[in-house]
Structures are given as C-alpha cells and as structure tokens.
C-alpha cells in the first residue's frame, strides 16, 4: 500500500494511553471528556462520551487512534479503519487488482500525487493536564490521472485541473487537499470507488462511509458517486431505526435529492407508525409536564410539524388504518399527545385541529378513549389554543370524555380530579352532555322496561 502517514513509531513508548474516537462526525473543538455536543461540518450533532483512560488501556469507540507517551508528555494521532468498515473486502479479487493506487508508486507507474491534510483539536485534560491539544496530519496518495479525470466515474474537479494545465499543482503533479478529519478518514474508500469495476463500485458504500463519500462526491464533482450514495441512502432509510439519522442530516438541506429523502423518511414512518415509540413525560399533575430526558433521542423529537402531520395523514389513508385495534388507535393518539407536549411552544391551534382531525379515538374502549380525550383537552386549555379550536374538534373530544365520566365516575372527588385541568367552559359542556347522555339512557331503559342496568 503506497499511502503513507506521518505519525511516529510508538514501539518504544513505556506508558501508553490509547483512545479511539469517532472521527466521522467530529468538529474542530471536540472534547474527549464528552463535555460538548458538537455540530459537525455536515450540520449533524455528534453526541458522544469517553471516560478517563488508565495507563496501557484501550478504549475502543471508533476510528481515531491517539497514542500518548506519559514520560515524554507527547501524543501522536492517526486514523484507523475498524474491521467492520473495511469495504475493500466487499470487492471481488478481479476488482481488487484494479486498485493500483494501493501499490507502491513505482510499481503502479503513478503519475499524480494527492496530499490530504486535516487538522484536529482535542481536550486531553484527563491525560495531559492541558485544556486543548492541536495537531495537523497529512496522508499521501500516489494515483493516476487517467482514473481521476476520465471514464464514467471521473471527477469533474480533476478533469478541469488536468485539462487546463494552468494550476500550480501541474508544476509538481501534486494536489493538496484540505478535508475535515472524519472525511479524510474515508478518502481510501473514495479512491477505491474511482478505481474499482463499475459493476462492483456500489458495494463499497456502507453506513460507515456514506456520509464522507457524499461529501467527497460533491467536493470532487463525481456525479456517478453522488447518484450511488443517494441510491444507498434510499434503501438504507427503509429501516425505521435509521430514519432519525437521515432526518437530522437532510432536514435543512434544500436540494431536490434531500427533499426526496425527507419525503421517503416520512413514508417509512407512516408505514411503521405502530413501531414508533411515544414520547414519555413525567406525570407531575400538569398537562404540559416536562418530558423525560431520554426523549431528546426520540424520533418524534426531531420530526418537524409538517412531517409529523404528513405521517399521521398518510397512515390514516392506509387501507389498514380503519382495521386497527383499540390499542393501536390509542398508540397513535399517544404519539400525538407526546408530540404536542414536547413541541407545544412551536405549534398553534390550527395545527392542533389538523392533527386531531386525523386521529381515531378508540371508542371501543371507553376508558382509553376518555383518558386520551382528557389529555388532549388539557393540552388545548394549557396552551391557550382552546379559544381558537373549532367547536367540532372540541365536541369530538368531549363526547369521548363525557361517556367516560358517565360510566366510570360517580363521586365529586373523582370528577374533580378528572376535570381540574380543563377550562370551565369545557367542564360545563361536559356535564351538560353527560347529563343528557344519562337521561337518554334512562329513557331507553324505561321504553324497553329493562331495569337491570343500574344508574
């Protein structure tokens, strides 16, 4: 392999602290103690934590290897690919033979050099007693102009560079490239893609390198790679477990491919709506009780209002939606309740009406329907949306709750607890409806002569 890294040999280090950090989403001010949640250059939050490392201990998280000599008070850093991310092994033996950039430069008759430079800055206080440590690394690749600038996977960047001959790089046949550290980590895979057989190159794209390859495809103007990465994402996003990651990554991107990915993510959520976990909240007696801390990682926490409404609407339009059990109808209502509580400060009454209009309260289970209706009415009151909510929406919710009250509650104390967070107007309407429902029941009993049902 002809790529070289300018790190020192660590064979003679007597005391070695070795830590491996996630390089894929790092920003320039990453803290090893986990004290910051950093926003990487692609706009994603890198949330991670690494504790103190004792001497001669390996803490393996992922890709970035830091060696610290405690006697010399110095460190060296280099990138290592975990075995699970070694996409090279996905290629056939014939295709591997095409990866001539991996050979010695003289053996492969290399006629161009790429120097990839990347900076790093880490908080290494737990190892060295220093607040920050900075470094600059460089990796050299001996490549071939005909691969870079011609063929179906050619780079528009290198094609323009090599055809013009007017750039400074032409004088020494060397391109110097500055990349974020996490992107530099996967530059090997980028070259493998360019060199490999067109029929196999897609095999090199995986969950571990697809973000870096997308960045490099845009940076070096490789349309074929860009298309292949997007194809991979559109397949990968079919797994509901990966949807949140893609929503964060592409939620604020305005190009057509990003919009297609977001739309696809919403459809995947709609199809898997029964597998989405509701946002949990602390029941401390207030309708907008604060949510549990772990909800920040919930899929619902990152869904925009427009996407959440799209998910509910698309799910309802499914032919299976009308055949849901009471428990599943209740699950979807609980998704909406948790979403309202978590995002209420950015929502309004019109949105509340739109979402509630897509819900089915599980009237086959009056207890469940009444409990859910009560939560929605409480949210409506606590947020101040009630005055702007259409009468039909309120009536729908009050019907469910009034049936619950008429069947389950016969004591003043019980009714007070049930209605204490509702508005006076709603409480008044509820009791009017509950009394009317009771009168109707008594009338039916009198007409039928069946008095076996107790009041």
DSSP 8-state secondary structure symbol assigned to residue 318: S
Residue 49 has pLDDT above 70, yes or no: no
User: Is 261 in contact with 396 (CB distance < 8 Å)?
Assistant: no
pLDDT at 409 (0 to 100)? 58
**Tens-place pLDDT, residues 320-376:** 777 888 899 999 999 999 999 889 999 999 999 999 999 999 988 988 998 899 889
Query: What is the arithmetic mean of pLDDT over 178-187?
Result: 89
Query: What is the arithmetic mean of pLDDT over 18-39?
Result: 36
State how far the Cα of 393 lies from the Cα of 291, in Å rounded to an integer. Answer: 26
Q: Is pTM, for the whole model, over 0.75?
A: no
pLDDT at 440 (0 to 100)? 72
- Mean model confidence pLDDT for the chain: 76
pLDDT category, 44, cuts 50, 70, 90? very low
Q: E strand or H helix at 137, and its extent? A: strand 133-143
pLDDT at 294 (0 to 100)? 56
**Tens-place pLDDT, residues 194-246:** 999 999 999 999 999 999 999 999 999 999 999 999 999 999 999 999 999 99
Q: Which residue has the higher pLDDT, 291 or 248?
A: 248
User: Is 279 in contact with 338 (CB distance < 8 Å)?
Assistant: yes
Burial grade of 198 (CB within 10 A; 0-12, 13-18, 19 or more): exposed
**Tens-place pLDDT, residues 402-421:** 777 777 655 566 666 666 56
Query: What is the arithmetic mean of pLDDT over 100-114?
Result: 93
Residue 78 has pLDDT above 50, yes or no: yes
pLDDT at 133 (0 to 100)? 62
Q: How many helices (H) and strands (E) does the chain have?
A: 20, 11
Of the candidates 230, 317, 311, 226, the one whose C-alpha atom is nearest the C-alpha of residue 274 is 311
Phi, psi of 155 (to 5 degrees): -95, 120
């Amino acid at each position: 392999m002809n790529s070289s890294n300018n790190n020192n040999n660590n064979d003679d280090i007597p005391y070695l602290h070795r830590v491996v950090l996630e390089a894929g989403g790092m920003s320039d001010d990453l803290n090893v103690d986990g004290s910051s949640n950093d926003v990487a250059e692609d706009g994603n939050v890198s949330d991670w934590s690494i504790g103190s490392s004792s001497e001669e201990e390996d803490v393996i998280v992922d890709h970035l290897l830091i060696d610290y000599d405690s006697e010399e008070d110095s460190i060296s850093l280099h990138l290592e690919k975990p075995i699970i991310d070694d996409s090279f092994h996905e290629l056939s033996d014939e295709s591997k033979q095409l990866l001539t950039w991996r050979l010695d430069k003289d053996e492969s008759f290399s006629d161009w050099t790429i120097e990839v430079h990347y900076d790093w800055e880490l908080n290494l206080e737990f190892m060295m007693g220093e607040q920050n440590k900075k470094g600059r690394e460089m990796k050299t690749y001996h490549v071939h102009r005909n691969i870079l600038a011609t063929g179906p996977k050619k780079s528009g960047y290198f094609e323009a560079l090599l055809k013009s001959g007017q750039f400074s790089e032409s004088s020494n046949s060397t391109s110097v490239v500055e990349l974020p550290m996490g992107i530099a980590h996967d530059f090997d895979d980028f070259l493998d893609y360019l060199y490999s057989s067109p029929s196999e190159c897609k095999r090199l794209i995986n969950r571990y390198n697809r973000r870096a390859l997308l960045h490099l495809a845009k940076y070096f103007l490789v349309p074929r790679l860009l298309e292949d990465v997007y194809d991979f994402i559109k397949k990968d996003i079919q797994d509901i477990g990966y949807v949140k990651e893609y929503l964060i990554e592409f939620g604020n991107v305005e190009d057509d491919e990003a919009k297609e990915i977001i739309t696809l993510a919403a459809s995947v959520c709609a199809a898997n709506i029964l597998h989405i976990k509701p946002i949990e909240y602390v029941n401390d007696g207030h309708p907008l009780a604060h949510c549990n801390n772990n909800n920040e990682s919930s899929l619902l926490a990152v869904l925009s209002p427009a996407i959440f409404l799209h998910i509910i609407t698309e799910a309802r339009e499914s032919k299976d939606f009308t055949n849901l059990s009471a428990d599943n109808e209740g699950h979807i209502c609980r998704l909406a309740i948790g979403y309202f509580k978590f995002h209420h400060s950015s929502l309004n009454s019109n949105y509340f009406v739109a979402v509630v209009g897509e819900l089915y309260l599980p009237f086959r289970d009056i207890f469940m329907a009444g409990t859910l209706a009560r939560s929605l009415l409480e949210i409506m009151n606590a947020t101040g949306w009630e005055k702007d909510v259409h009468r039909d929406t309120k009536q729908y919710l009050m019907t469910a709750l009034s049936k619950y009250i008429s069947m389950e509650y016969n004591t003043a104390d019980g009714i007070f607890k049930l209605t204490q967070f509702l508005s006076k107007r709603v409480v008044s309407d509820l009791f009017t409806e509950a009394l009317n429902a009771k009168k109707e029941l008594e009338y039916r009993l009198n007409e039928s002569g069946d008095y076996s049902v107790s009041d």
